[in-house]
Each structure stands twice: as structure tokens, then as C-alpha cells.
Structure 1
Amino acid sequence: MVAAATAAFAVGVLGSPGAAASAAPVHRTHTRVIVVSPHGSDRGAGTSRSPLRTLQAAQGWARTAAKHGDAVTVQLRGGTYRLAKPLDFGPGDSGRKGAPITWTAAPGQHPVISGGTAVRGWRPADAGSGVWVASVPKGRDSRQLYKDGAAVPRASIQIQRSAISVTDTGFTITDPALAARLDGLPDQRRIEVESQDSFTDRYAPVASISGTTVTMQQPAWRMNNWGYDTLAKPFAGGTLLLENSRSFLQEGQWYLDPQHGKLYYRAKAGERPADSSFVLPQLQSLVRISGTLARPVHDLAFSGIAFSYSTWLSPSTSIGYADQQNGAFIPKAYPQPADYLTSCQSGCKEFEGARNGWHQMPAAVQVAAATRVRFSDDAFTHLGQVGLGIGNDVNANGRGTGLAASSVTVHHNLFTDLGGAGVVVGGISPDAHHPRDRRMTVRDVTLDNNLVTDVAKDYKEMSGILSTYVTHAVIAHNEVSNLAYDGIDVGWGWGANDPGGSNDYRTRGLYAYQPVYTTPTTLKDTVVEDNLIHGTKKVFHDGGSLYNLSANPGAVYSGNYIYDNLHTVGLYLDEGSRYVTMRKNVVQDSGVFIFTNSYADNDTLDDVIEQNWYNDGVVQTPNADTHRITVRDNTKVTGTDWPAAARKVIAASGIEPRYGHLPGQTDPR
């Protein structure tokens, strides 16, 4: 549906490409337009008749023009701009307030900034097997492959959890048929285990296979088997897979042998790979925008550009992907109790010692140490990780500076066919919630009128949009759909970093490793309004379609329409949610209309849930009176016989018609 359309995603359909990129009219004596074309020459004049060829050359020209005081527009003609390395923007790439340096599509054109390489020259690999092979650059790995503008699944087989017995070093195979299938496989260190659990999606690579004994690479295996919702003991069962061996190839799947530069694809009946377009991502990031705290990048805009074809290789290493929640993972070994496989399957003191060392998944397009940056009418498609990261921790930014993003606008963009979340705003480290320097604070970020659909395809535990420790995030009029997990998630920390700490985490032992803070975090004044959220919770039952975590003073969730979430939770106030108002939302066909995690020592307090409409599902607000949670004037209707006020909310949700229709957009009206 969306995949084929994204290749032709054009600002020409949506309006003038330059119109949305400028923040305000500005009167200048001279505006410099630098024209770029994949068919140009870097010896050209950067004009319509003599365009430049590379983005790097255009960037150099733009810097020079900006130094001379010119207003600058870099105009990209249609075609693919293949990057050999990420395109970095530093302080020297800044414009001026009211006159950003604008990178934009030429009228009616469809430029693509790509980190991939085209795959051609397919030939049969084994007669009669349906497996084809093509040569690709040697030594270059990838976790993704795209065919005709859509992700292709890696070679994999599903196994039963009863077929293995987890050990400290790996697992023992208890199913003789599985043991026979794995015996003697080549390239064993490329094989991975994926465990889809209750709210985590974990990856760990194999070290070796000998008979019924599978030894796993460390520290990935040990880090994936302690804490909460572990690979060894998931809270809700879930799917277990073995992936990334040529022997696992099924129809429509692929396998890469980087050592020999060979890509294998098992065709479906009647299919010829030469008749399709294949792209193998090579880069782990495409665009990195980052200055310093003293010299942030500023006044930069991107309009009408597609960012496509990236991968993220960390899960393929011995680190694996020790997923904790929503793209956060343990990046190294930490001390564990000797009996962690029994004593630490639902938390333990030593696990709390790792919490402040978690990393964030990096985005293909990264923004940090920057202010007044705008993305409008762009497409983030076919990326192997998060599409756009704004003010994430330093560990998720390739230029070495994290956080410190302010006045960033993400307006009317398409996010689809991504390995991770569409957009992640904010960090999860101590500097994110209690910054050492106030300039680190992520603030005033607006995400509006975007379509986020069919994302988090590889790291399924990620929501469509995640905003963590952010002061005044506005998430409005977006459509978020077709997800394995949540739609829109806000907050982090489970209340443990809020003033006075959390009694629950005091019991767990967290404060042996960090202070009990006496001041609020940077999370406050969140606005989540008029969003259309549907097709969520397709894999994981935990979480909610619309979700808040930790204290969020001044937060208001209103006018959102939620439907089709497989009868799971619609509105969810998780641990430590305080001072949050959820008002005038419409929740359709959920199993739980509202859930507040306000049990016992969970400091979920002082929240208001009022004037919402729902047609199904229970109300779960334990200890509402003692936790000062107000639940009032919510209306349950029969079927879809919504009153006029609820119908008005439904009609107003999602992308506003005045901005034009995005490929794959739903009309709830």
C-alpha cells in the first residue's frame, strides 16, 4: 500500500516545496539558489543550467553563501543521491533567524538521499532450489534488504520455546529434529535468536553449535536474560525465532554473506529477481545535525526530500540487542548474581545498577545541539532503525553531542517501512532528566500532521512516536497506525527520577546506584491532541495505544481517537504518572478503556481522566481515591452510537485536510 507510493512522494502534490520550510517572511537583498542534480557536475556553477552533482559540494557552496549574508536555498532535482558516508551538518551550516538555509526539492521533483546500493546481476545459486545470488561489496554487512520499495524479511525459522532449555552460556536443544537441522551449519556466528516477548523484542547472536549444545555470544546472552520480560522467561510467552542462516531461507527471504560479497534471495514461484529493484543499505546513518552547547546548529530546514536506505549493525555484534523498552538496550556487560537465571527474572538489585547505562537506538536522521530546525513534507522510508531522532542521548548521535535540541518542528512528513520507531524525541540518561547544563534540555518540539505507519518492523517493541524527557512537546494531528506495539508514548523513568523518588524502586535497590532527586525532571507541559491512532498492539499486549510514564506536570491528552487495538489498553497511565489530564478522547473497541498503574508503591498520583467516550472495555484505576486519581464524566456508549461531541473529535482527529493527503493516509470522517 504505502511502500510503492513513497518512491513517488512529492511535495508537488502537497504544495510548494519552499512554502512550508520558511518560518516567516524575510526581506533580503539577495537570495542564493544552489541547484543540484545527480546528473550535474561539481565543476558546475550550481545554477539551473549548470547544476552541481553532490550534496557535499552544495553544502560547501551554501556555507560560503551564508557567510556572505545571503539567504540560501539548496534545490535538489529528482533522482537518487547515494552517500558514501553520512552527511554532517555543524554550526557552519546554519542560517539566520527567519531565514534558514533550506534544502528543498525542486518543484515537482522527488529527490532521495540514500545510504544503499543497488543490487543487480542475479543468477541461480542452486538448480531447482529457487535461490538466486548476486554479488555485493565485500565486507559490508546489513540487517535489511529492500525490494521494490518494501522491506524483505531475513531468512528465519520459528521454533517452539519447549524445543530449548536456557543455560548460562546459551541453550540446550531438547527437540531432536531441531538439533539435526542445526548440526554442522556454516557461518554459525551469523545466526541469531530473536525473542518477541510481552513488551521486549530481543536479539542475541550464536557463537557455536555442537550437537545439542548452542553456545551464545557474550555479553548479549547474559544481558538478555535478566531484568524484566527476559528471553529466558518472558512475561507472556511470545514468538521465538532463529534467523540469518542461508539454510533457513524460505520464499521471499534473503541472506547476506559479507565475507564473500554474496547476497542470496529465495524467489517465490514464478518470480525472477532481475525483474525487481533491490537495494541493500550500507550506511548506519544518513544525516547528522549537531553542534555544541556553545555553538548549536540553527535555522536549518529540509523540505520535500526522501531519506531512505539505512541499517543498524549493533545487534549483529556480541552486544546483541538486550532490549529493555522502546529502543533502549544494555550496551555492555554488567555484574550479575551467580544465579541470575532464577533470581533476576523479574528484577534484582544488580539489574538496577545497569539502568543508567542503557543506550538508545540511533536514528537514520539525527538532530542534537540544534535549534530552529524544521522538517516538512519529507519522507522517511526504508530505514533499518528509528527514522528521525531529536535530542537523543550522546550515545545515539554519531557526531558526539547529544540532547540540547529546541524549537524543532516536524510537519507533514511520511514515516513508513522503518526498522524502528518513526520519531524519538529526548533522551533517557541522567543528563536528559536532570541535565548538568541547562542548555542540554530538550524543549519546544512540535510534531504535527505527520503520517507514521508500518514502522518498528524489526524492533517491534517501539512505538510509532516516543517522547521522553522533553519540556513542552506538542504532538498534534498525527496519524499513527499499523504497529506491533504502542501508538504514541510519552515519558520515561517509571517515576524513579521524580522528586522524592519511588517507593517501589527504593525497594528494588535502585538508589544504591543513583541519588533520590529532590527536583523535577525536564518532562512537563506535554500536549498530545487530535491524533488518530489505530492498528496498534499487533504483537505485544503490554502498554497502551496512548501511554504516559512518570510525572508530567501540565500534560494534557485530548481529542485523540483510538480504535483497532486488538482489545488491549486504550489509555494507559503507567508507573509514576502524575499531574496528567486525559480529556475528551474517543476510545473504540478496547479491552481496557483506561488503566492506571497505581498499585501499592507505584507513585501514579494526582491524575484526571474526564469527559472521554468509550464503547467497550473495563475501567482499571486501582486505589484511585488514595492516589488522588479523578475519574469522572466519562461516557460509555453502545456500539458506535457516538454523541455529537464524540463525532466531532473523531472528525477532527488525524492529519488536517488543508495540508494535503499523504500516501496511505486514513480519513476517519
Structure 2
Amino acid sequence: MMAYPGERVQISGGKKIQVSWKPFNVSGANIWVSDVSGFDEMPALHINGARATRARYPNMPSGIEASCGYGCMIEGGKGKWTPPDFQKYGNVIYYTDKTTQHYRNTTNDWFNEYMIGVGGLCSVYDPPVSYWCSEHPSGGGAFAFRTPSGLSYDFPNGPYSHAEDARLFVWRPARWANWMFDVAKYDATTRNFTFGRGGNQGARGENSGGDFFIENVMEELDYPGEYFYDKRKQKLYLYHNGTGAPPSDASYVVPQVQVLVNLTGTQWRPVKDIKVKGIHFSASAPTYMMPHGVPSAGDWALDRFSAVFLQGTQNTLIDGCVFDRLEGNAVMVSGYNRDTTIQNSDFSYLGGNAVAAWGYTNETRTDRGRPGIILANSPAAGVDGTDGEHPVRTTVQNCTAREIGLYEKQSSFFVQAKTAQSRVVSNVFFNGPRAGINMNDGFGGGDEIAFNLVFSTCRESGDHGPFNSWDRQPFLTTVRTGEPSMIMQWREIHHNFFIDNYSPQEDVDNDDGSCFYKTHDNFLVYGGQAMKNDFGGHDNHHYDNVDAYVHQALGVCETIAGHEDYFYGNYVVMTGEMVGTCLDDRMHDNRYFTPTGKIQEAGCGGYGGTVSKTPSDDAILNEARKKLGMTKQVEIVI
């Protein structure tokens, strides 16, 4: 499937509509109305190829396609949250794998056993299963999944005449992900919104919500660039961002179709050798209210919808394509896929992720992603990743991506779960709400992340940085040795240029349980510390990097014999004097630089290197150029 040479081919999921604008309120505002029939709802509208903003409070001064950072929201503490209804779906069924051969013995009491919970409050997911509903979820801020049941808040333009049509977008406290809720019931007297469908867009829960906003109520159509669709009267209202009437000859497109290209086979009858080249994809329909599942024990929930959807394929090539203004994910590599390559493509203004890879294990008897199939030996087979129903050798290279996660904030340029041996190489990503690259688990390993430029991530969320990982749930795979093993193959992160310039925690955030990482020969700028491992993390080797303007060198947790961390050969420019954690002889040959030329040792009689005063920017950049192989003079501005 390719564009004829010299021609532009666009595949759109949108429906063009004809409008005939008439004045509605053009004295105090500039609101116009047109009859538009045939839509049950209109969560998205594109005008001349750019999104209009659905009527909402608080307003977005620059529109939905420009990030407000931490703004354009109501502080979560200003609302009164209805507590979770723990019995809404009945009791959860716990399962913990006690098979002796499946016990992961690489840490003391952290993430040693595969465990899940089925049903209960995890019934909001499809399939209704999650690590976060298991009997003993652990890690940073860990407790069983739940979400608030409602919200009481007196919106300035309320009470609303049709609040039952409203949709509330709610950050989880600490901004780890966001939830979307439709309203099941509204009490105009108490201003209480009872939540209905939704709350399944993230894996981690809380008793209350964080920052929030409301949309899709007529009373909030009060700002240029906003629109509202009255489904009862079949009328479209637009607050025109200009003088006079909106142009009637403009292009008005309503996204309608969620999947634009669907390549679906099976492991036994795969779709082979398909090439998609030079196609422009646009206006796929929103998917954030569609069924979501929890792919593994990271913080993510995902929906198996995307503009280009791959399942049961071999040797698929997506080359030189443009993915622009899609309301959901751009590319989903789902289940069995071998040797998928996505290259030379551009991703921009996406509602969700640019590329997501997500495999299956048999945790429940059925799964909507594999309709008509009865899955044997669930939930015991949930630990088993040896049946091949997952992506292997996915390559994403030479791509650019920016302005993603406009709706679902737990979004990245590349995210993988139950996926192994991926290559993410020579890409440029910036302007996203969360981590740029995410590894949701340690399934298989053998991945390579190299030669990427990633910056301006976590613009709207808390912690992380350009790269983030978790490994709270062990899986049986054959990647490490060719034989079934609970131990993953090493992942390598090398020769990247990462800048942690928004929510500066770490450039490489190896979170709960992350293990078997070799992070080397990178230029890593800003952050609280150069190297991190926590909550049972281990086998983390951070070496030969240029770490510029970090607060301290490293902060890692205790490890057991044979699974220690290493920190050596690094060029570390610190804004403070504290080294951080002591690694004894596993911390050596580092060059440290501080404002005073002094350093506070790590409490073990040494800090494994030399210390000098902070060098000039030019000196740091020269080290970075050598590290990244920039033999020619290239201007880098920090």
C-alpha cells in the first residue's frame, strides 16, 4: 500500500460535514450555529485540519493542541470526592503463582512471584484482570486499585441543564495518569456528579481524584475556538476565533473511524510481508472511552485500537508515513508480531501513543483481543510467555514525534508490555505529557534503545523523564538463553541524548523492580540523580555516560550477592556535593564535578573517582560530542 510517486495519499477516519452558519450569540460573544445531523456525539472536530476544543471549564487559552503544562485545570483539593464503592462489582479473585520453578530469586522479597486479581474493582477493565487487584501489590505508593465514585463541585457556570452528557477528565493524584468519566447522575442541588462509564484509562488507582476539568456542556461554550454539539437538537455551535461568521468554505471534519488500516492474522496464519509506504493518516476517532486492559504490572492501561493496527503479522514495514491529528494511538503492535519495522515516519498531535507494542498471556478464559478463542489454563498460564503471542523484534527507527497524549496523559512515543527484543533507534521525540519511552515490564528483555534525542517530556505529569521502566511481575520467556527462564535478557540504553527539562527526576528512571539494564555512552542532562534503582531493582550498570547538571550521582537500593549495581567511568557534573548511594568497589573511575570542587562521600570511605570544580559548558559539550560520535562541530544549547 503506497502513494503513487509525487502524489499525496491521505487515509482519514473523518466525515466531512456541510455547514450553514447562522448567528446564535454574536453580541456578547461570537457564537454561530448550524444544523448538523447524523451524530450521536461529537467528541472531536477538525476545522481546516486542526482540532477545535470541546466546550469545557476551565478554558484552554491556546486550544487543545497546545499544552497548558500543569494549568487549565481545577485543583483536585477543591472538589469533594465520593469514596470508591468497593462492592460495586463484587469480590476480587486472587491468584499467585506458587510454582517453584517460577520463583524469581534475584531479590529479597520484591516481585518474586507472578500475581494478579480477577474481577472486583478491576471489572472496569477488559479483560477484568490486573496486578493492582492482586492480594499483595507492592512498590512505590502501592495499594489495591480503586477510583472515586463521584465528585461534588460548584462549577461557576452551573448548574448544567444536561450535566448527564458531561465528561470529566481527572488526573490521578500526583499526576501519574488521568481518568475519564461519563456522568451517570447529576444532582443540581448538591452539584454532585455520580460517575458512570470510565476510570479504566490508568492502572493505578486512588480514593480521590487530582486536578480535573469538565467538558461537553453547553453552558461552558464561552471561549474562542470552542464548539458544542447538541445531540438532541442535532445542532453544532462554534465560538468562532475571529471576526464575523466562520468561513462556510472551510473544511469541517468529524472523526468517526478508529482503525484505518487493520492487518490481523494469527500466529498460525499470519499476514506476511505487507508494506505501507508514504501514506498520510489523519482524523481517526477517539478511543479513550473504549475498553482498556492492564497489560502487566507497570502503571499503564492500554486500549487495543490504533490508526494502523497489527496483530498476527510477520515482516510488516511501515515506511515514510505521516500520522497527524489522530484522536487515539497511531500504531498498535498487538499480540503475535515478528519483525515489524516502523521507520522514516512522522507522528504529531496524537490523542494517545505514537507506537505501542502489547503482547498476550492467558490470564483470563477469554480476551476481547482474541475473539472466539477459549484460553487454556487461565489464570495459571498468565505467567507463561513462551507461547509466542507477543511482539518480537519490533524496530522503530528514524522517526520524529511530538505533541502526543492530548487526551490520555499516560502516553509515550514508544511503550511496550509483554514484548521482547525491540529496537528503538535514531528517533527524535519531544513535547509529551509523560515519559518519552516506557518499558512497562521486564518481559523477555533483549531490547536496544540507542541514538535517540528525547526532551521536553513529562510536561504535565509527575516524576519520570525521557525514559521510564518497571518490572514488578516476572514472566517465563525463552529470550535470555533459548530455554524457559524467569530472568530477562539485558537491555541496553546507549548513545542517546536525553534532556530531563520539565519534571526533572531522572533521564533514565529505572523504577520499581527494574533490572538487567546497561546504560552507557549517553549524554544525560538534568535530573535529581544520574542513576536510579528502587524497590527491589538490581543488576543496573550505569557506565561511561556524561551526566550533566544532576543533583547527585546515584540513588539505588540494596541488592543481593550476584545481582549488584555498578556505577563507573562516568563524567558527572553535579549541582550539589552529595554523591548518593555507596557501591564500594563497584563504583570506580568516575570524574565528579561540583560548584565547590568538594564532594561528600557516600559513607563507605570513598566515592570512586576524582573531583574538580564545575567545568565550562563548552568542556561538558566537548565530552558529549565525543561520547555521541559528533566528529563535526554541532551546536548544542542546554
TM-score tier, shorter chain, comes to: 0.5 to 0.7
Q: Distance in 2 between matches of 1:620 and 1:589?
A: 13
Q: Could you tell which deviates more after superposition, 207-216 or 281-290?
A: 207-216
Which of 342, 355, 359 is 1:427 aligned to?
359
Pairing 1:450–2:405 present: no
8 Å Cα contact 1:363-1:385 kept in structure 2: yes
Change (3 A) 1:116 1:227: closer
| Aligned residue number for residue 553 of structure 1 | 489
Q: Distance in 1 between matches of 2:296 and 2:190?
A: 29
Structure 1 residues 651-666: aligned runs within 5 Å: none
Which of 537, 543, 565 is 2:501 aligned to?
565
Question: Cα distance, 1:652 vs. partner?
Answer: 5.9
8 Å Cα contact 1:138-1:260 kept in structure 2: no
Structure 1 residues 238-249: aligned runs within 5 Å: 239-249=211-221
Q: Distance in 1 between matches of 2:296 and 2:418?
A: 17
Pairing 1:606–2:539 present: yes
| Aligned residue number for residue 364 of structure 1 | 307
Which of 38, 43, 49 is 1:138 aligned to?
38
| Aligned residue number for residue 166 of structure 1 | 81
Q: Distance in 1 between matches of 2:328 and 2:388?
A: 27
Q: Distance in 2 between matches of 1:643 and 1:283?
A: 47
Pairing 1:647–2:625 present: yes
Change (3 A) 1:124 1:592: farther
| Aligned residue number for residue 288 of structure 1 | 262
Amino acid at match of 2:570: N
| Aligned residue number for residue 377 of structure 1 | 320
| Aligned residue number for residue 19 of structure 2 | 121
Which of 178, 183, 192 is 2:167 aligned to?
192
Change (3 A) 1:124 1:425: same
TM, length-normalised to structure 1: 0.65
Structure 1 residues 393-542: aligned runs within 5 Å: 403-427=335-359, 429-430=361-362, 434=383, 438-492=387-441, 521=443, 523-542=444-463
Pairing 1:619–2:593 present: no
Q: Distance in 2 between matches of 1:380 and 1:633?
A: 40
8 Å Cα contact 2:410-2:434 kept in structure 1: yes
Q: Distance in 2 between matches of 1:146 and 1:322?
A: 31
Which of 546, 554, 564 is 1:628 aligned to?
564
Question: Cα distance, 1:147 vs. partner?
Answer: 2.5
Deviation sequence 1:285-344 (CA, Å, 0-9, x none): 1111111222100011011101111113562x8x79999999944xxxxxxxxxxxxxxx
Q: Distance in 2 between matches of 1:212 and 1:141?
A: 27
Q: Distance in 1 between matches of 2:305 and 2:286?
A: 8
Change (3 A) 1:582 1:564: closer
Amino acid at match of 1:642: I
Change (3 A) 1:311 1:323: farther
Change (3 A) 1:531 1:489: same
8 Å Cα contact 2:500-2:507 kept in structure 1: no
Question: The residue matched to 1:642 in structure 2 has which SS?
Answer: helix
Change (3 A) 1:546 1:171: closer
- Pairs aligned (count): 472
TM, length-normalised to structure 2: 0.68
8 Å Cα contact 1:417-1:454 kept in structure 2: yes
Structure 1 residues 78-89: aligned runs within 5 Å: none
Q: Distance in 1 between matches of 2:294 and 2:238?
A: 29
Amino acid at match of 1:411: Q
Structure 1 residues 212-227: aligned runs within 5 Å: 212-218=190-196, 220=198
Question: The residue matched to 1:273 in structure 2 has which SS?
Answer: coil
Structure 1 residues 293-308: aligned runs within 5 Å: 293-308=267-282
Q: Distance in 2 between matches of 1:303 and 1:174?
A: 49
8 Å Cα contact 2:455-2:500 kept in structure 1: yes
Q: Distance in 1 between matches of 2:39 and 2:281?
A: 24
Question: Cα distance, 1:372 vs. partner?
Answer: 0.8
Structure 1 residues 11-410: aligned runs within 5 Å: 103-128=1-26, 129-158=29-58, 159-168=74-83, 170-171=149-150, 173=152, 175=154, 178=155, 181-183=157-159, 185-197=160-172, 198-210=175-187, 211-218=189-196, 220=198, 228=204, 230=206, 232-233=207-208, 237=210, 239-249=211-221, 250-270=223-243, 272-274=245-247, 276-313=250-287, 315=289, 328-329=300-301, 360-391=303-334, 403-410=335-342
Q: Distance in 2 between matches of 1:325 and 1:485?
A: 18
Q: Could you tell which deviates more after superposition, 279-288 or 430-439?
A: 430-439
Q: Distance in 1 between matches of 2:323 and 2:424?
A: 18
Q: Distance in 2 between matches of 1:324 and 1:552?
A: 15
Flag structure 1 segments of 5+ consecutive residues without an equivalent: 1-102, 330-358, 392-402, 496-520, 658-665
Amino acid at match of 1:647: R
Q: Distance in 2 between matches of 1:121 and 1:285?
A: 26
Change (3 A) 1:405 1:619: same
Q: Distance in 1 between matches of 2:176 and 2:568?
A: 30
Q: Distance in 2 between matches of 1:162 and 1:124?
A: 41
Question: The residue matched to 2:269 in structure 1 has which SS?
Answer: coil
Question: Cα distance, 1:228 vs. partner?
Answer: 3.7
Question: The residue matched to 2:438 in structure 1 has which SS?
Answer: strand
Question: Cα distance, 1:199 vs. partner?
Answer: 1.0
Question: Cα distance, 1:133 vs. partner?
Answer: 2.6
Q: Distance in 2 between matches of 1:639 and 1:160?
A: 41
Larger fraction in helix: 1
Pairing 1:588–2:522 present: no
Question: The residue matched to 2:157 in structure 1 has which SS?
Answer: helix
Q: Distance in 2 between matches of 1:206 and 1:324?
A: 29
Change (3 A) 1:228 1:291: closer
Q: Distance in 1 between matches of 2:536 and 2:310?
A: 33
Q: Could you tell which deviates more after superposition, 433-442 or 459-468?
A: 433-442
Flag structure 2 segments of 5+ consecutive residues without an equivalent: 59-73, 86-148, 364-380, 472-486, 574-614
Amino acid at match of 1:636: V
Change (3 A) 1:219 1:385: closer
Q: Distance in 2 between matches of 1:473 and 1:320?
A: 23
Q: Distance in 1 between matches of 2:390 and 2:151?
A: 48
Q: Distance in 2 between matches of 1:652 and 1:312?
A: 41
Q: Distance in 1 between matches of 2:34 and 2:292?
A: 27
| Aligned residue number for residue 503 of structure 1 | none
8 Å Cα contact 1:471-1:526 kept in structure 2: yes
Question: Cα distance, 1:365 vs. partner?
Answer: 1.2
8 Å Cα contact 1:552-1:577 kept in structure 2: no
Aligned-residue identity in percent: 19
8 Å Cα contact 2:347-2:400 kept in structure 1: yes
8 Å Cα contact 1:203-1:321 kept in structure 2: no
Question: The residue matched to 1:647 in structure 2 has which SS?
Answer: helix
Change (3 A) 1:407 1:630: same
8 Å Cα contact 1:405-1:441 kept in structure 2: yes
Question: Cα distance, 1:468 vs. partner?
Answer: 2.0
Q: Distance in 1 between matches of 2:296 and 2:345?
A: 28
Question: The residue matched to 2:258 in structure 1 has which SS?
Answer: coil
Question: Cα distance, 1:667 vs. partner?
Answer: 9.2
8 Å Cα contact 1:486-1:546 kept in structure 2: yes
Q: Distance in 2 between matches of 1:444 and 1:433?
A: 22
Q: Distance in 1 between matches of 2:23 and 2:15?
A: 21
Amino acid at match of 2:327: G
